[in-house]
Structure 1
Amino acid sequence: MGIRFRPVTFKKRIILIFLVSILTPFVCLGFLSFYTIDSIIDNKVESTIQGRLKQDLLTLENTLNNLNHVSQQLAIGGRIPALIERLHQTDQPYERVELFNEIKSELNVITFSNPNIGLLLFYYPDTGAVQFENFRVRTPFAPERLSIMASYPEITYYGPHRSYNDSINQYVFSTMRQVNVAGRNVYLYIETGRNALETLFAPQNRKSDSRRLLILDNDGMIAFSENREVFPESTRFPAYDAESLSDSGYYGNFFWSKETSNQGWSIVSILPQNELNLERNRWLWQFTGFTVVVLLIAVFFAWLLRKMVYKPLDKFNKEIKSLILSHAPEETELTRIPEFDYTLYQIRSMKRKIWNLYEEIEQKERRRADLEVEKLLYQINPHFLMNTLDTVHWLAVMNGQKEIDRVVLSLNKLLYYNLGKKGETSTIGDEIQALKEYLQLQQIRYDFRFDVDIDVDELALSLPSPRFILQPLVENALYHGVSDDGYIYVGIRLRDDRLEIEVRDNGAGMSRETIDKLLHDDANESEKVGMGIGMRYVRRILKAHYGDKARLEIESGHDRGTTVMLSLPASGGDLDA
């Protein structure tokens, strides 16, 4: 009962925590790895094989779909079946020559536009004749001897076989479709082109890959095999089960994985089991090396943490004590770590004083802002000013002063908009209307001519916008950009979820240094450039409403005019702030 509790220091705790954190994971991994290594390796190999197999399936499907698409163009409807039917019906030599040339021309266009197409011909099974071939045909031409990969009433797909193109000696896929010709038994035969399947069925390009591929037809028969000794062609795949949902497994000394196409045929990848053992051994060596590296890194960081945390923490406490003058005790929840408890006390004392000072400054700023607002309200009475301008407007109307009436009316509308309440919502349409009133006043005021082109997307008129954002940009362009025969363009476009605003003039332009001051200088010196006041207001209002979501850019050059571009979120940002 008389024993006092002595907290363990941070230095001792950090050493203990590092020892436990380093030893515990590796001890647990040492026991678990023996039970999980097989499943980890199997899942890794299976996922890798399955991913590559899906890519092979996609390549093959794209190839067959291309054959199907071309065969539909040539065999179903269109000009070629009709031309062949006319060719068979006419006995006129000249007309037959014309039709024959026209058919060849159509086929050349199809072949040229489909570079993955190889041999193409029309086959008459009744006589065994071929016609309109685009390459010399190897004889005898007997498609009935080919291995069928998938067969449907309208089209038949043949598995990899030696090409009937006499100019090449490669394996190709092919398809045959009946042509819609009345009274004749005609079929369209198409092969894949040269090297079309080289990446998929060329073992010489996969010397480092021990896997081999099989192609199964709709009934599970092997239509093509890269390992004919174990999986001969025209035999049923031993592990095939039409009612099973399994797409992988083991057969003999091979691991197999299967992917089935939407058309019912399948592509199978077979891999010797010794490849799995090689992968497992490689993983064990990698794991051992990784373990050694992690241990070395952990020891290094344990030493570095003690050096970089513990010693700076002691120095940090001394620095805080030099800043705090009051050491009055306070009741707080402690961490039971002596170093942290003492530092926490110092930080809380300093924080309390800082927040008290901050609150005092905030109250002073609030009072100063209230005085500024009150002063401004006394200096400018918007209602009095509006009523006075309205009186001048009616006096001008009564005395027939149309020019004065137009000026006063535009000024009254512009002031009413610009002196609107803070919480009122503005739109792009309101901004455009206020800008037009401002330009009307300026055209009366200045003795030089200038043109203004306003181009606004109709969809953008109803979008919310900060008040008084267009006038400063146009005012800067008018004051500092244009002179006689000046031109100002105002464009507003809605692109996706962004509102793009562009104000462009044809004036003298400005230097890169001036542009940088306008975009980045917040000091009073920016007013010396002439455009600083209005541009600084635009930057601050964009920052207040949109934060970092708004972009302001300026492009200019000597005698090339100036372009100011704004990009704002179409949602409107925080326009109630």
Structure 2
Amino acid sequence: MLNHHSQLTLKKRIVFIFAASTFIPFFCTAVISYNAINSILTSRLESGIESNLDQIVLSLENSIDNINHISQQLAYPGSIAVKLETYLDTGNPNIRRNLVDQIKQEINHATFTNPSIGLTMYYRENGQVLFENFPLKDSFDIGNLPALAKYYKITYFGPHISNQRFTNEYVLSATREVDIPGKESLYIYIESGYKLTQNILQADRSVKNTFNLIMDNNGKIGYSELESVFPVSSRFQGSMSGKQSGMIGDYYWFGKKSNQGWEFVTLIPVSEYNKEKQHWITQMVVLSLMFAIISLLIAWMLWKMVYKPLNRFSLEIRSMAHSDFDSRYDETRIPEFDFLLIQFQKMKKQIRELFVEVELKEKRRMDLEIEKLRYQINPHFLMNTLDTAHWLAVMNGQKEIDRLVLSLNKLLHYNLGKMGVVSTISQEIESLKNYLILQQIRYDFEFVVRIHVDDKILSEPVPRFILQPLVENALYHGIKDNGSILVEVRFDQGILISVFDNGIGLSQETIDKLLDRDCPAEEQLGMGIGINYVKRMVDSHYEGRARLDINSMPGEGTTVCLSLPVQKEEARND
């Protein structure tokens, strides 16, 4: 026998075939494209970085050359240095004042004609500043500046915060000894224009979020934009390897050595370096999703044409299994499936008609059984009552017989009358009272019956002859002298009829037999016939919505509860 659980459904097969036919060619194309694009992107990226490095290094070299050129003009034997020598030799205040004005004017002229030059001044070895062209910060200290390269009598410093007051931008700078013969050591300090240096360091980069390092001619870091990883004054391991590019930690690095001996390095985070590749991968993922959506859409269209009608067949079969023969099918607009559904609807109609016929026959059979039980009960009771009347006629006077016969006539008229199957609570109570009169005369022991009825349900319709068998059951199974029976009829989300007695009680086995409608008739003689009649009657009349319960404990009495639904107005009129 085939194991259907291990086989793929039609829907899964459709989806699998379309997914395979869509994604296998796409995957192969994506792999080939990735390798080609990866090579192109890597080559383009590295080319852009190298070009950017060349431009930055060239710009920095030009800035340093400009600084060097201005320093040569200020050094001895330049005209400005000669005037400085005179200034240092003379003690005449007037001459010194004139020389100060001339020196400052020439320094301003030299720097003004060269916009790439910023702060310019002379200073002594003890820190005294002379002839500065811009205000100087109080924190000025040559010893704190990062050296890039050092040659005879000149030292270059590498991007650092400007010493010009009110400016905190990065600049390049240089110091040079003036070298006036026979005079104390005197130096020139020159800075590049801060805007120029900032523009060089922030030049258009091939990759965003890059970081720059500058190493001096000894391989130490003099400038770092990523000091948490590559601190100033430490050695950069990449340049020590002798290579011009590589990878350190989470960064790719590319270096360019200047003609002046210092080296410029660009650092690129791995994530940023691979960003363009990731962008390409994202595009491929988007394309994959588009292909997937198209593939699923086509699969859905096939499912709608093939699988949906099959699922409709499954729903029709399940509805028929749950006895739902009135469901209407939706047209599939596929002639072959619609023809099969029409034939299936015809088959359902025939099955429904068979069900109705069988239910009608079963109802007729049940009604006959109820009538049979009814006529089994009534002659049985009638014979006992007439026998009692016979002995009373012998032993008592005519008054008792009159009372007995009157009550008997009323009871028989109600039970055997041709007034139909449906009665009311009021009629059932009246019939029960006539029955109790007869039973009190019949039995030779005293018992009390109390009846409590909710007045608002007296006119509620109920099946005929359902209350008397419940009370008869209480009398039959053990009421003795001073016994009591309580009959309550009240409304509690329906009609609730309860019969309580303080008799000898019933065993669970006896209760099970009373409630078993399939129990043989010979085992239901006496009280069993009455209870069985009531159960069958309410089951037939209320179509299974009524409930009969018996609770009893030997020696503690019995309680019989009959719960009936309240009939709707249209049902009462019927």
Category of TM-score, reference length = shorter chain: 0.3 to 0.5
TM-score (norm 1): 0.42
| Higher Rg | 2
TM-score (norm 2): 0.43
